[in-house]
Structure 1
């Protein structure tokens, strides 16, 4: 999984880490780990929450990560 892609999508939408955390219900520290590549395999539940918060279909998020 490419955490840099999550960061890029978040920033494209003008969201801070705090905002994404608040909107998704995923902790800020966990999001930080994902974006920095410390946590490389978030569950589909986490990816679903993030994609919903960023108004992005989860399949598109996964597909984009696979293409990286």
Structure 2
């Protein structure tokens, strides 16, 4: 019983987070969901730093191991 309750809560939290990505906008007006689809750039040190920042942002959305 506890497992099903926890699973239901987890699913609602994940769904709410995904919906928030569609509702919240970046400064240029595009949904934050577009940030998830962003491709990496050519291999350069500055691009690597940007990729780390992007990964940190993605990890902040929730448990990405699932």
Name the TM-score, length of structure 2 as normaliser: 0.27
Normalized per residue, the structure richer in helix is: 1
Say which structure, 1 or 2, has more relative contact order (CA 8 Å, 6+ apart): 1
